[in-house]
């Protein structure tokens, strides 16, 4: 009996066995974090006040998301039922794919893009159709249009995209939605605040458009895990069947109210990052480092064959950056998050020293 128990360990679904493991390089990050596109400073001080006012008794209750959902929906100019809060956009992607993708379906994915689309799609029985961007990494609109088939069920567009920083226009998004009426067009606006353009106003008028937003980036609440999906009522009804009613915890709900109310802080942080981005672009140009135009709080740069050393040299100088070499079409490229102007001054010093070391041929390990 004991032997039988030992050999009969339950096998996961074949799909799960075939999934690639994904381990984001977290750990030892108490330094300048320019590797995960987070807010590099802090969230609004109003969030701390809201947290301090939380009573221990309130933690005994299950979180009640509807009132906060209604508030967020009003903030976005939508009806409460059109908005679902999620445990970060990651849960939103997961739930959306579980809701809409089944065997025989195709997920259309412009690449390179955010890793988790492929991770969650690979847990479904749908096929991922990757549509490679050209070397300029611009949104591959024509190639996407050409890749639409009757099986296309979801088109996932990060706008702005990561790691490229490039954007799809409103017209391109609308055209894709028009050409694939059988598909959900997910527009992931995780970096919306640094771009300023949105299709949120089209939610409810375009029948197959769903927009995602996160509170992990400009708002600085990545640790609380807060995101949302906004879409037409009939689609959101299905999404809610799959979504856990309790996946957003009560501390996150309390903090969300406070963060959303403090528009002054958000505007200040975004302004600071945009100013820092311009300065950093100038520094990259001066250093002769190729970069891709970015509408987000990060920039992709070309380092070349010695990208691993570059990342190590930067880390040794106290600056974490993210090697994107394993992303499709990104060999030798590194993504650098933009923080405050002060922080980016430190990054420029580290970058110039690292480039000098690489160019002199020294510093190998
Ligand atoms: C395009 C995009 N969407 C979503 C996320 C994750 O958002 P969240 O922290 O809300 O899960 C990221 C994080 O890097 C991202 O780049």
Would 364 be classed as within a structural domain? no
Measured by CA distance, the residue closest to atom 7 of ligand 1 is 89
Evaluate: CB of 214 within 6 angstroms of ligand 1. Answer: yes
Q: Report how many domains make up the chain.
A: 2
DSSP conformation class of 119: H
Evaluate: CB of 35 within 6 angstroms of ligand 1. Answer: no
Q: What pLDDT is recorded for position 361?
A: 78
Evaluate: CB of 119 within 6 angstroms of ligand 1. Answer: no
Instruction: Tell me which of 241, 262, 283 is where a domain ends.
Output: 262
Indicate if 242 and 271 belong to the same structural domain: no
Which of 168, 190, 226 most suits a substitution to test ligand 1, by most atoms within 8 Å of the C-beta? Answer: 190
Residues 6+ apart with CB under 8 A from 41: 220, 269, 339, 340, 343
Beta-ladder partners of 111:
132
Please state the atom number of ligand 1 nearest to the C-alpha of residue 214.
Answer: 10
Going residue by residue through the chain, which has 365 residues, state the pLDDT in tens, using 9 for 90 and above.
556 566 788 999 999 998 988 888 887 788 999 999 999 999 999 999 999 999 999 999 999 999 999 999 999 999 999 999 999 999 999 999 999 999 999 999 999 999 999 999 999 999 999 999 999 999 999 999 999 999 999 999 999 999 999 999 999 999 999 999 999 999 999 999 999 999 999 999 999 999 999 999 999 999 999 999 999 999 999 999 999 999 999 999 999 999 999 999 999 999 999 999 999 999 999 999 999 999 999 999 999 999 999 999 999 999 999 999 999 999 999 999 999 999 999 999 999 999 999 998 754 44
How much is the CA Rg of the chain, to the nearest whole Å? 21
Q: What pLDDT is recorded for position 314?
A: 97
Evaluate: CB of 186 within 6 angstroms of ligand 1. Answer: no
Q: For position 67, which CATH number holds?
A: 3.40.640.10
Would 117 be classed as within a structural domain? yes
The whole-angstrom separation of Cα 212 and Cα 227 is 7
Evaluate: CB of 117 within 6 angstroms of ligand 1. Answer: no
C-beta separation of 320 from 357 below 8 A: no
Measured by CA distance, the residue closest to atom 3 of ligand 1 is 190
Evaluate: CB of 261 within 6 angstroms of ligand 1. Answer: no
Indicate if 106 and 29 belong to the same structural domain: no
Q: What SS3 state is found at 86? A: strand
Please state the atom number of ligand 1 nearest to the C-alpha of residue 217.
Answer: 9
Residues 6+ apart with CB under 8 A from 350: 313, 314, 317, 318, 319
Question: Distance, CA 92 to ligand 1 centroid (Å)?
Answer: 10
Indicate if 293 and 330 belong to the same structural domain: yes
C-alpha dihedral sign at 33, 34, 35, 39: positive
Residue 251: how many other CB atoms lie within 10 Å: 16
Evaluate: CB of 69 within 6 angstroms of ligand 1. Answer: no
Instruction: Tell me which of 262, 289, 308 is where a domain ends.
Output: 262
Question: Distance, CA 29 to ligand 1 centroid (Å)?
Answer: 18
Indicate if 221 and 239 belong to the same structural domain: yes
Q: What SS3 state is found at 302? A: strand
Evaluate: CB of 188 within 6 angstroms of ligand 1. Answer: yes
Indicate if 186 and 329 belong to the same structural domain: no
Please state the atom number of ligand 1 nearest to the C-alpha of residue 86.
Answer: 10
Q: What pLDDT is recorded for position 364?
A: 47
Instruction: Tell me which of 237, 262, 287 is where a domain ends.
Output: 262
The whole-angstrom separation of Cα 190 and Cα 88 is 10
Question: Distance, CA 361 to ligand 1 centroid (Å)?
Answer: 36
Would 365 be classed as within a structural domain? no
Q: What pLDDT is recorded for position 4?
A: 59
Evaluate: CB of 152 within 6 angstroms of ligand 1. Answer: no
The whole-angstrom separation of Cα 95 and Cα 235 is 12
Would 217 be classed as within a structural domain? yes
C-beta separation of 216 from 194 below 8 A: no
Indicate if 258 and 269 belong to the same structural domain: no
Domain, as residue range, for 183: 46-262
Indicate if 250 and 297 belong to the same structural domain: no
């Amino acid at each position: 009996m004991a032997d039988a128990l030992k050999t009969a360990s339950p096998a996961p679904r074949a799909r799960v066995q075939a999934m690639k493991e994904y381990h984001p390089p977290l750990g030892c990050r108490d330094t300048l974090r320019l590797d995960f596109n987070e807010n590099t400073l802090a969230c609004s001080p109003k969030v701390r006040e809201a947290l301090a006012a939380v009573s221990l008794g309130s933690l005994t209750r299950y979180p009640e998301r509807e009132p906060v959902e209604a508030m967020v929906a009003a903030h976005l100019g939508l009806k409460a039922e059109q908005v679902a809060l999620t445990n970060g956009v990651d849960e939103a992607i997961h739930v959306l794919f579980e809701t809409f993708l089944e065997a025989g379906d195709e997920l259309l994915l412009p690449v390179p893009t955010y890793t988790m689309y492929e991770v969650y799609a690979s847990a479904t029985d749908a096929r991922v159709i990757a549509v490679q961007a050209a070397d300029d990494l611009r949104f591959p609109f024509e190639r996407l249009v050409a890749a639409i088939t009757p099986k296309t069920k979801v088109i996932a567009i990060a706008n702005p995209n990561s790691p490229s920083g490039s954007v799809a226009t409103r017209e391109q998004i609308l055209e894709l939605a028009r050409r694939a009426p059988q598909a959900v067009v997910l527009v992931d606006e995780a970096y919306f605040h640094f771009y300023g353009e949105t299709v949120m106003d089209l939610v409810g008028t375009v029948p197959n458009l769903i927009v995602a937003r996160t509170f992990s980036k400009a708002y600085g609440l990545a640790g609380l895990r807060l995101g949302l999906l906004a879409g037409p009522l009939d689609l959101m009804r299905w999404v809610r069947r799959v979504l856990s009613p309790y996946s957003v915890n009560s501390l996150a709900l309390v903090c969300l109210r406070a963060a959303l109310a403090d528009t002054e802080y958000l505007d200040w942080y975004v302004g600071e990052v945009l100013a820092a981005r311009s300065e950093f672009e100038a520094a990259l140009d001066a250093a002769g480092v190729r970069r891709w135009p970015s509408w987000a709080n990060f920039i992709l740069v070309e380092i070349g064959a010695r990208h691993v050393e570059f990342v190590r040299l930067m880390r040794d100088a106290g600056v974490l950056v993210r090697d994107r070499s394993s992303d499709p079409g990104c060999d030798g490229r590194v993504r650098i998050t933009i923080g405050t102007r002060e922080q980016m001054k430190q990054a420029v010093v580290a970058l110039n020293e690292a480039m000098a070391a690489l160019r002199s041929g020294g510093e190998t390990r």
